[in-house]
Copies of this chain bind each other. A is one copy, B any other.
């Protein structure tokens, strides 16, 4: 989906919940769209937004991210390093989106595979738990770091 369409959709989602797509909020969404693979923290988003809209405040970024998270437009994820990262949700990516965190270099790779369909069914039937979303991160050694070691 291109940026213009994505922005229109976000605008509608905000309006439906009584929020406006202000220039600041739009800037945040654009930065998220332009860095879809990067798992940015609030501060990283702040600095990127500042390049184009230097007057924005960090608190606004946090407030925007909170709204977007509440509306399920972004996922808030933590990789156990003590700060939140924000991930734009993709279309119908219910259980397709997972992470590979390299313990050597810290890089986070994103993978999209339908890996959990069966697993979710087991959880639903065996634990009577209705699955809405998930967080799956594998910790290990990425292929780059494996090659470096040889």
Report if A100-B82 is in contact (Cβ < 8 Å); known contacts: A132-B141, A134-B138.
Answer: no
Interface residues on A, range: 35 or more
- In the complex, chain A residues 98-127 whose Cβ is within 8 Å of any chain B Cβ: 100, 102-103, 109, 111, 113, 115-116, 119-120, 122-123, 126-127
In the complex, A78 has a CB within 8 A of chain B: yes
Which of B79, B82, B115, B120 is within 8 Å of A138, CB to CB? B120
Q: Whole-angstrom distance between the alpha carbons of A109 and B115 in the complex?
A: 22
Asked if A25 is at the interface (CB within 8 A of a chain B CB), the reply is: no
Min CB distance A116 to B, Å, is 7
Residue from A78, A128, A141 having most chain B Cβ neighbours under 10 A: A78
- Contact assessment for B129 and A119 in the assembled complex, using a CB-CB cutoff below 8 Å: no
Closest to A128 in B: B143
Q: Give every chain B residue within 8 A of A128 (Cβ-Cβ).
A: 142-143, 146
Q: Which residue of B78, B79, B103, B120 is within 8 Å of A132 (Cβ)?
A: B103
A146 & B119 in contact (Cβ 8 Å cutoff): no
Please report A residues at the B interface, Cβ cutoff 8 Å.
Answer: 76-80, 82, 84, 100, 102-103, 109, 111, 113, 115-116, 119-120, 122-123, 126-143, 146
Contacts A103-B132, A135-B135 supplied; 6 other A-B pairs, CB < 8 Å: A82-B84, A115-B119, A116-B119, A129-B142, A134-B138, A135-B137
